[in-house]
Amino acid sequence: MFVIAYNILFLLIAWILGQCIYNIFLHPLRHIPGPLLAKVSRCWLFSLEIRGTQHLKIHSLHRKYGPIMRISPNEVSFDDIEASDIIYAQTSKFEKSEYYYRAFEDQGPNLFSIRDRQHHSQAKRLVSHAFSRANVIQHESSIYDKALYLMDRIEQRAKERRTIPLFPAFRCMTLDTISEFCFGKSTGALHMNNFESTTFEAIDKANGAVLFFQYFPFLRHLIQWANNYKICAVPNGFIELAQKAEAGLQDVHSSGSWTMFKNMISMAEKKSTQLTKEQLVSEGMLMIVAGTDTTATSLSVTLHNLLQQPETYKKLQDEIRTAMPTMDSRPTIQVLDTLPFLDACVKEGLRLACPSHTRLPRTVPSDGWYFKKHYFPYGTNVSTSPLYYLHSDNVFHSPKKYNPFRWLVDDEKRRHLLANFHPFSRGTRQCIGQNLSSIEQKIVLSLFIRRFNPGTVLKKKVSLIEAVTAVPDDPLEVLVNLIFE
């Protein structure tokens, strides 16, 4: 017995050593520079991801190893806009990497996780009209209702000299907006005393679990198996999120008004496509997660910075007053879109926060890929985060500084900035919710700036935790002063 165990251990160690030697000296990616430990095994990348600092770290390591860097035995990171232009092009043949995106599939595939091009374009056709700018504008009044309710709550707190936690407050706003848009009913988070919601707990837990499912996919099955047989109940957030999505989908049937899901189901019927309950739940979970923290992070970072720059705040306030002469003016989004400084402030918040830090890995297609004298064989994972370009000091001078004035430049300079500005990614897999997000941000910002003056910002410096969506490591509490007119 002892001899068998000894032999098994010996074989295991020999196999691990063999793998390490192969990965360093014989692997087709052996010529690509990168930290030695990254070449040896995926543990190096996992150890960064578990600390939630992977993209800041990888970005800084690119300075040492150059724009093409091996970050795990079979994954190469690029800090090179030309590579990014190719990988995420409209006609790109690079599909989403299975190891990374399958982890987002709990009940079944969804728009975000589907890898096959044709399957994705079929799924996208069912929802793209709902998220078009023209359609989102139709729902402007519902966004205004929520934003106004939030402003009333902030006003109440301002009168009582109580702080406003920016991130939780905007999270409630974005959660209720996406819920009403998709399911016809908001979750009521905006009405909760301390801007809390059980949905946030589910999102946070799922964010924590997804990393483990990416590296150890068997864990998901193990947890499901253990839960099914009541051996132990392991919460992973996905179960709670699925319950939220199911409850939302129940509301769709009872809602008399337009909803994204009603629209999606009727589009599917017209195309004689059968949507299973699992597919709908999976899309519902995706909408809740993708539509909440992203926009809330961007809004929080924008306001947190504006409140610390009184002159910039004043300039924005003066511009907003032209579109909102009285406190109860409700300019349409077309009017808000004509305000260049508001646009600059939103862009700068998106640039600085980069709510989707993730490196968006893709797989090299079957014919391999030659790029800048390197050959990447079929199946290599290639990745690059929008963050690397949004925080590039070659393009954005003092990139860690919130400076909306950088956007007020002539057309040529602006084109150069925009060529590196892809917070929503691009190509066929770009963010479907960007119109909704931009409209939400402009409405909330203009109402806030019109009604309040800066007070005190409790924590001046904010860091972001790199979960699936980057979120502030602090609620960002501020005191504001009500404007009396």
Residues interacting with ligand HEM, by CB under 6 A? 111-112, 124, 178, 286-287, 290-291, 294-295, 298, 350, 355-356, 360, 386, 423-425, 429, 431-433, 436-437
How would you label 291-313 residue by residue, b for 16+ Cβ within 10 Å and e otherwise? bbbbbbbbbbbbbbbbbbbeebb
CB-wise, 101 or 376, nearer to ligand HEM? Answer: 101
Nearest approach, Cβ of 311 to ligand HEM (angstroms)? 26
42, 71, 153, 287 from 64: Cα distances, Å = 20, 13, 48, 38
Nearest approach, Cβ of 434 to ligand HEM (angstroms)? 6
Shortest CA distance to 445 belongs to which of 338, 326, 317? 317
Nearest approach, Cβ of 295 to ligand HEM (angstroms)? 5
What is the number of the residue whose Cβ is closest to ligand HEM?
Answer: 433
Cβ atoms 431, 424 nearer than 8 A = yes
Nearest approach, Cβ of 312 to ligand HEM (angstroms)? 20
Cβ atoms 345, 352 nearer than 8 A = no
How many other CB atoms sit within 10 Å of the CB of residue 274? 7
Strands 369-371 and 452-457: unpaired
Q: Which two tokens stand for residue 371?
A: 């790029």
Cβ atoms 471, 361 nearer than 8 A = no
CB-wise, 122 or 227, nearer to ligand HEM? Answer: 122
CB-wise, 173 or 323, nearer to ligand HEM? Answer: 173
Identity of the amino acid at 81: I
Residue written as token pair 């790029």: 371
Nearest approach, Cβ of 329 to ligand HEM (angstroms)? 25
Residues with Cβ within 8 Å of 300's Cβ and at least 6 positions away in sequence, in order, are 166, 167, 170, 353, 472, 476
How many other CB atoms sit within 10 Å of the CB of residue 406? 20
83, 306, 317 from 362: Cα distances, Å = 12, 36, 42
Q: What is the C-alpha separation between 398 and 483, in angstroms, rounded?
A: 33
Q: Which two tokens stand for residue 295?
A: 């926009």
Identity of the amino acid at 446: S
Nearest approach, Cβ of 46 to ligand HEM (angstroms)? 19
CB-wise, 298 or 363, nearer to ligand HEM? Answer: 298
Q: Which two tokens stand for residue 48?
A: 């960064």
172 is in an annotated binding site: no
Nearest approach, Cβ of 151 to ligand HEM (angstroms)? 20
CB-wise, 23 or 358, nearer to ligand HEM? Answer: 358
Q: What is the C-alpha separation between 465 and 474, in angstroms, rounded?
A: 10
Nearest approach, Cβ of 47 to ligand HEM (angstroms)? 23
How many other CB atoms sit within 10 Å of the CB of residue 403? 18
Nearest approach, Cβ of 423 to ligand HEM (angstroms)? 4
Strands 68-72 and 95-96: unpaired
The secondary element (H helix, E strand) that includes residue 242 is helix 238-254
Annotated binding residues for heme: 431
